[in-house]
Structure formats: C-alpha cells, structure tokens
Amino acid sequence: MNYKKLSIIVIFLFIGSVVFSQSVKNPIVMFVKAASGLNIHSEPSINSNIKETLLYGQRIVLCGKSKTTVTINGITDYWYEIYYNYGWVFGGYLSASLPTDAPFVLGLWEDGRTIFNFYPDYTYSVGIKQSEWFDEGKWNLNKNTLTLIQLSSREKILANPDISEIVISVINENNIKLTYREKEYNLIRSDYPYIYK
C-alpha cells in the first residue's frame, strides 16, 4: 500500500471518529426505560448490527455520544456509547433514574466497600471492591423481603444453594438498609462508573 492511500485512510478514520462521537466529561449512569428492552448496536445507527438487547430497568454506563441527534419513532436524541467500547444505544429510551414501576432494588448499591448488584434478569452479585471475593445467584423481591439464592462463590458452583431471606428498609429511592450474612449494610444507589456484569 502506498503512503498516499494510507494517509487518506487515516484521515477518513479520524474524520469518522470526530463526526460520530464525542466523549462525555464523566461516565454517566443511566437506566433502560423501554419496556420491550433496548438494543445495543455496533455503530451509532439503527441499521448497524445488534449485539444484544438490554432489559427494562437495566443499569448501564455511558462514555460518549454522537455529534448529532437522530429521530427514531418520533423521539429525537443522541446515540450513546456504552462504557468499554461495548456498543451504542439510542438515548431516547434511557432515563437518569430507575423507572418507578421497576423493582426498586435494581442496579448497583454500595456502602463504600461492599457492592450489591441486582440485575433485571433476577440474578445478583455481591462482592468487595478491588477483591476477588463475590457471591452470585438469583433474587426475588416480595414487598420488602428479598430472597437471595446463592448459587456460586468466587466462581465456584455451590453443591447446595444457600437461601437468605432479607428484610429491606427503604429510606428513599437511593438509600436502603439490609442485613446480609449477619452484617448490617447502609447502602446507597451507586453512580460508580463500572459494569459488574
């Protein structure tokens, strides 16, 4: 390949990156508000490949947005890039807060050291920041009673699932209290820009 062709390709890639995206100052935590879910696209275009579908109420972290808005189904918004270059989602189906009819435990909760993450597919993980320790399993919420069925710990599948019934005290939409493994946690809904799943 000659240098002229190489230079043209490099310029095209640079212009494409400027036209299609710009970084946001800080990663932004958002929630999916589309009841039928939200597709992750490989590029900021409705015609690009769909990588997967996010569930209603799912927490995502955004790190960039398209330079221009588009209108999809009568809604005008930007395309947003999901953290770690995972793909693009249309902003018209995102919300800064958890939808009010979604289970209030959805999302990432922390007390500064311990992290609880509840996913819309009714799985959960609990771990310590910057540690390899974690538990995973299934969750169910009945009013303020949370049932956790631990299926694995540190990537080891448990022979017999461990079932915990936990009463959650809701302080407000961003603060809860619960007792897990005989320890009381005062948790806040986290805007920590990390995806644990």
Three-state DSSP class for residue 180? strand
Q: Give the number of residues written for the chain.
A: 197
- pLDDT for res 106: 95
Do 176 and 112 lie in one domain? The reply is: yes
| DSSP-H helix ranges across the chain | 3-20
Task: Give dist(CA 106, CA 71) in Å, integer.
Answer: 29
117 and 179 together in one domain: yes
Domain encompassing residue 50: 3-95
If asked whether residues 57 and 124 sit together in one domain, one would say no
Q: Which amino acid is at 94?
A: L
| Domain limit, last residue, from 69, 95, 121 | 95
> Cα–Cα distance between 92 and 38 in angstroms, integer?
10
Could you report the per-residue pLDDT of 48-82, keeping only the tens digit for each?
999 999 999 999 999 999 999 999 999 999 999 99
- pLDDT for 140-190, tens place per residue? 999 999 999 999 988 788 999 999 999 999 999 899 999 998 999 999 998
Question: For residue 18, what pLDDT is reported?
Answer: 36
Q: pLDDT tens, 7-42?
A: 222 223 333 333 344 555 578 999 999 999 999 999
User: The CATH number of the domain where 158 resides is what?
Assistant: 2.40.128.280
DSSP 95-122: ESS--TTS-TT-EEEESSSEEEEE-TTS
- CB distance 61 to 193 below 8 Å: yes
Give me the residues paired with residue 59 across strands: 31
Do 79 and 139 belong together in one domain?
Answer: no
Same domain, 50 and 90: yes
Please indicate, yes or no, whether residues 51 and 74 belong to a single structural domain of this protein: yes
- If DSSP codes are grouped into helix, strand and coil, which group holds residue 145? strand
- What's 43's DSSP letter? S
| Total tally of structural domains belonging to the chain | 2
- The reported pTM is 0.80
Do the domain assignments include residue 81? yes
Residue 194 falls inside a structural domain: no
pLDDT tens track for 116-144:
999 999 999 999 888 877 899 999 999 99
Rounded distance between C-alpha atoms, residue 55 and residue 35, angstroms: 8
Predicted confidence (pLDDT) per residue in 86-124, tens digit: 899 999 999 999 999 999 999 999 998 999 999 999 999
